[in-house]
Chains A and B, each alone.
Chain A
């Protein structure tokens, strides 16, 4: 079984400041890793994913994340945030050893960008 812990439930930050949203996971098998963004009353949108290869992955909207296998972490970063980045962010993992792609999600981090 897998579990995902998003270490901060809320992250307030000023516009144009850098931000890091932290995600740790636990799994007995290898996993794929994902970050999603959810705007109010909408479905989730995939920001980026790590399947294999380079541990630094770049996604949409200027976000990037780094997979750290030894620390079982997959933190999301953006060097300069905009008001429009205000949303809920979810980290998720999916085991690599199945053909069903079932993902386990964290409880989410609310990013609030202030002017």
Chain B
């Protein structure tokens, strides 16, 4: 079966510290992968998407970056976190021809 793993579930980080969030998908090949951020009480903002290994597109200029070192692995990173980076980060995947997303369980990041 197809599953998606996202970790950690919660994270509290000081301003200026680095960040690494990881997402892995099982049970499918060559998925489209996405990172979204959800601010409190708001909708989802697309941060990055990837249609293949090392193919990353950024939707919003910011101090975050993404990488896809393997077909089913998607990593969100930052060298120095800002207070405004706090939020709920969601990884998702889809396949060509059927773009309904399967979401991970999310990471709640609090920058203090």
List residues of chain A with CB under 8 Å of any chain B CB: 4, 32, 34, 36, 41-46, 49, 51, 90, 94, 99-108
Contact = CB atoms under 8 A, between A and B. Distances in A.
B102 interface: yes
Interface of B: 6, 32, 34, 36, 41-44, 46, 49, 51, 57, 59, 90, 92, 94, 96, 98-106, 108
The secondary structure that dominates the B interface is strand
10 contacts: A34-B99, A36-B103, A42-B106, A43-B90, A101-B94, A101-B101, A102-B49, A107-B43, A108-B41, A108-B43
Contacts, number: 62
A103 B46 CA distance: 8
A94 B100 CA distance: 9
B108 A41 contact: yes
7 shortest A-B CB distances, which residue pairs?
A101-B99, A43-B103, A107-B43, A105-B44, A105-B43, A101-B94, A94-B99
